[in-house]
Amino acid sequence: MNSARRAVIVGGGPAGTVAALVLARRGVRAIVLEGRLGPSTKAGECLPPSVTLLLARLGLEQLLTQDGHLRSRGHRFVWGSPRPGERPFFAGVRGDGWHVDRRLFEARLAERAQAAGVDFRWGTRLDRCIREGERFHLELTDPGGARITETTDFVADATGRAASVARRLGVQRVRYDRLVGVAARLESPTPTTDTYTLVEATPDGWWYSALLADGALAVAFMTDADLMDRGLAHGEADAAREAFLRALREAPETRERIEGHGYRLATPPQPQRAETSRLTSVTGAGWLAVGDAAAAYDPLSSHGIGSAMGSGYYAGHAIADHLAHRPDALPTYVAVLQNAYGAYLDLQRQHYRTEHRFPGAPFWERRRMPLYCLDPIEARSSVTSTTLPPTLDPCLP
Ligand SMILES: Cc1cc2nc3c(=O)[nH]c(=O)nc-3n(C[C@H](O)[C@H](O)[C@H](O)COP(=O)(O)OP(=O)(O)OC[C@H]3O[C@@H](n4cnc5c(N)ncnc54)[C@H](O)[C@@H]3O)c2cc1C
């Protein structure tokens, strides 16, 4: 490995870890700084069948089969009509989807990166990022709480929607909505065996529920931050539980799935950002952003993890090419991301418009506005943008 070529990746989620893995395979010394002390669970567990193509390209097919993650047969949806519809995956050509144990999935990904030579540092948090000439000076807190520093010629921002590096470099983030996901794990002594992901629209948003391999149900209520019940927003566990169950009354299919199988909340419902948003620039001199940090997807699309890994794949190659003095490396990366995100925004707009019920409900009226997913909230009054052509790239579903 040519250690003169070196990059620091801040954030060890799917995007940062795949970028680091690709870099290590390209002979670049890759350091991942991950703030969590070790693998932990995150909201987001449904992978569409297309992810298997990407994992095959990365030589990581076993990631899905080795730990007993659950195969999912398709989507069931209550959307546009009170009658449930089904979209089985067998109608597609790529086989089953997957419901993964997120903690295990990310742990294995990190192990594979380490085996390829990545210096993966759990419990190491970026506090400040300062540009000094052509280099970056990173101020960090290590797992023992000590303040340390790191200097690098190239830094990748893989910190998720927080985009901690890019924001510290002064880059703006724009949003297309204010979606939040209130996610919880539910457990039952008599779990369901139905592996379909259930998606159900309600007046204030929509619900999804997905069975996991251990019989638990991952359930999330997706709504807009300003429409969220105060009980959900203010972080008190009992109030959040009550508000979550109150909101569930509007979702009869999801409620039946939960109550019919005796599921109970095992974790307090936790709101987290889930908006469609992106940075206004995803690269600059000596840096790039990858995964949710660069451009984040509505969970309705099931694109988050796959796109994070797909952009990680391209980011790894772009950084390696850039460090090898190829001037087209970063512009090509930007074009790939723009292409994929433009296609996503188009689909997103169309998808929300297939729900015609709930007239007057703010959640849905906002998504029926002419400029929804065309212009960011921050620019709707002044700028008109064009959409980009759809992508055919299997790495960015
Ligand atoms: C409620 C909800 C449901 C979802 N459901 C799905 C789904 O079903 N399917 C799907 O594909 N996607 C889903 N997603 C989206 C998916 O989880 C994300 O798209 C995916 O995690 C993005 O990966 P990433 O690596 O870009 O970011 P992340 O997974 O967010 O990883 C970023 C990492 O950076 C670390 N970090 C942040 N700041 C710092 C710092 N200063 N220093 C060091 N480390 C730092 C964090 O600890 C984190 O591990 C869902 C999201 C939500 C909120």
Q: What is the ipTM of this complex?
A: 0.99
* CATH number for 25: 3.50.50.60
pLDDT at residue 388, as a whole number:
30
- Which of 80-94, 106-120, 129-143, 350-364 is least confident? 80-94
Q: Which helix (H) or strand (E) holds 310?
A: helix 304-323
Residue nearest to atom 27 of ligand 1 (CA): 160
Residues 6+ apart with CB under 8 A from 239: 230, 231, 232
Residues 281 and 310 in one domain: yes
Residues 169 and 213 in one domain: no
Residues 1 and 121 in one domain: yes
Residues 184 and 315 in one domain: no
For 85-105, what is each residue's pLDDT tens digit? 998 887 666 788 999 999 999
Residue nearest to atom 30 of ligand 1 (CA): 160
Centre of ligand 1 from the C-alpha of residue 268, in Å: 19
Containing structural domain, residue 121: 1-45+102-177+276-397
Residues 168 and 292 in one domain: yes
Residue nearest to atom 31 of ligand 1 (CA): 13
Residue nearest to atom 20 of ligand 1 (CA): 305
Centre of ligand 1 from the C-alpha of residue 325, in Å: 31
Residues 259 and 111 in one domain: no
pLDDT at residue 392, as a whole number:
31
Query: Count H helices, E strands: the chain?
Result: 11, 23
Nearest atom (ligand 1) to Cα of 210: 8
Centre of ligand 1 from the C-alpha of residue 43, in Å: 8
For 186-233, what is each residue's pLDDT tens digit? 999 999 999 999 999 999 999 999 999 999 999 999 999 999 988 888
For 271-322, what is each residue's pLDDT tens digit? 999 999 999 999 999 999 999 999 999 999 988 999 999 999 999 999 999 9
Residues 265 and 149 in one domain: no
In a domain, residue 54? The reply is no
pLDDT at residue 175, as a whole number:
96
Ligand 1 pocket, mutate which of 228, 292, 344 (most atoms under 8 A from CB): 292
Strand 119-121 relative to strand 28-33: parallel, antiparallel, unpaired? parallel
Centre of ligand 1 from the C-alpha of residue 299, in Å: 11
Q: Which residues sit with their C-beta closer than 6 Å to ligand 1?
A: 10-16, 33-36, 42-46, 125-126, 158-160, 162, 164, 181, 183, 220, 272, 274, 291-293, 299, 302-306, 308
Q: Which of 220, 241, 273 is the last residue of a domain?
A: 273
Residues 150 and 245 in one domain: no
Q: How many angstroms separate the most distant Cα atoms in the chain?
A: 62
Residue nearest to atom 5 of ligand 1 (CA): 44
Centre of ligand 1 from the C-alpha of residue 365, in Å: 28
In a domain, residue 166? The reply is yes
Centre of ligand 1 from the C-alpha of residue 161, in Å: 7
Nearest atom (ligand 1) to Cα of 11: 34
Centre of ligand 1 from the C-alpha of residue 129, in Å: 21
Strand 287-289 relative to strand 155-157: parallel, antiparallel, unpaired? parallel
Q: Is the pLDDT of residue 66 over 80?
A: yes
Centre of ligand 1 from the C-alpha of residue 160, in Å: 5
pLDDT at residue 4, as a whole number:
63
What's the domain count of the chain?
2
Q: What are phi and psi of 196, to 5 degrees?
A: -70, 145
Residues 301 and 339 in one domain: yes
In a domain, residue 255? The reply is yes
State how far the Cα of 23 lies from the Cα of 25, in Å rounded to an integer: 5
| b/e 354-385 (16+ beta carbons within 10 angstroms → b) | ebeeeeebebbeebeeebbbbbbbeeeeeeee
